[in-house]
Structure 1
Amino acid sequence: MKKVLSAAILLSLVLSGCILVTVPTPTSSPAVTSTAVELPTETQTGVPMLTSTASKTAVASATPSKTLTPSITPTRTKTLTPTKTLTPTKTSTPTKTSTPTKTLTPTQTSTPLPYTLQVEAPVYIKNFVHTDKGCNWLGVAGQVFDANGNPVLNLVLVATGNLGGSALNLTAVTGIPEADVYGPGGYEIQLANKSLASSQSLTIQVYDLQGNALSEAYVFDTYADCSRNLAIINFKAQ
């Protein structure tokens, strides 16, 4: 009974770790096998671990590096803003130019006609001769003078053209008694029995008694106006 109790106590002590059991070592030395046992690392809670990071210090080279010569940077020119391009207008096609004809050599110039208009002519006034007719009269009258200013008689005045839709071809002779009221060497031609307006449709010209032209044919106008129903046209020799 004592042996059983002693064995139980001994087993209890061994299990509790209180008794160190010595195991005899064999005489021959067995080969030692190194087995790495990974032991858990005890980490202290709350205490940060400082990691030492070694910085690599650059060692300056004793040999100086080659200095680069800076290149010339081109200056940027200012870009011009293009102006507004005008839309070309449509060019008309030139017409065909006619080839000029050969110029004829002028023949000998004729002698200028001896009579021309006075500077003041024509002058338009109220009919002062046929006062009884008033506006029911329209005419042209005047005088013809030589180069010295003397009245010239027996020259023919011819008025032609169109007036009020009718063709005219009327004549008068200078120096007749009925025309003396206009002065020595006077003439008078009645154009119509009322005042009528006309523009550039009538001419008057001086002839001699043989029908030779002594002046150019000069254009004159008429007016449907009682205060201008008489045209005074004088001629003079050049």
Structure 2
Amino acid sequence: MATKLPIVPLVNKQRMMGTISLAKPVGMSRWIKVGPTGTVNFTPTVETVEAKSAETGLNKLIRKITTGTSAVVEFSDVSAWTEFMYTVQFMAAKRYLTQAAVTAQTIELTELVDNYVFDIPVRKGTVTSVTNGETGEDLVTLVEGLDYIFSSETRFGEIKKVPVGFGDTAVVTYSAPAITEQEAMLDLDILSATGVRCELMVIGIDPGGNGDPMSMYLPSVEFRPNGAATLGDAANLNVATLQADVYQDDTGSYGRLEIRNKIVEA
């Protein structure tokens, strides 16, 4: 026999939702995508002072007086390595690297041995020759690929094997193109900033009837890292975890949450 229920069970207000998060840094007119993310969690905190009374002979709690409120938004498994992501995760002031063109400059490598690793002081450079620095019949030139290798992208190279009689010093001649402001490379000054102040919009995405979609707008947050970021892992997706501390804006508002459908209470 079916059990008679005093109240009809609530079976239609559950929710499973994805989110698209957007940040607009102070001084910028465009919104920047934050994500993809694994989860986005809003955690409010209420600070209270307890009021108690011992009039009955026992020390009983009679109320809690609210003294402050705060909140933080946490973003887990952020996998899009954008300029914004790098800037937040490494608490860095954003700078860009440019350079003037360089032609036929040299560096000297001393105490040369096999597997000698070196670098040149320019970006996107080309090593045009590696020699023993002598002239005429005494000049010995190493062969790229056979005697040494060089990566323009990383600016590092390696003397694989020093030929017999080459000596213990090498002269590397290199050139490099100009890097203009339009081609400038991101050059972060690590731990030079305390956070990134932004507006934040979190847009809930309902995958087909799994809850009432919502949008949350926070007018003033400060993004900071919240744990380790993967620098190298070839077996797993490289991700980071970010957090945004929620601040009041100049009107005294923390923000607003909009439910994009009419909610009918059960």
Structure-2-length-normalised TM-score: 0.18
Larger proportion of helix: 1
Q: Computing the radius of gyration over CA atoms, which structure comes out larger, 1 or 2?
A: 1
TM-score after normalising by structure 1: 0.20
Higher strand share: 2
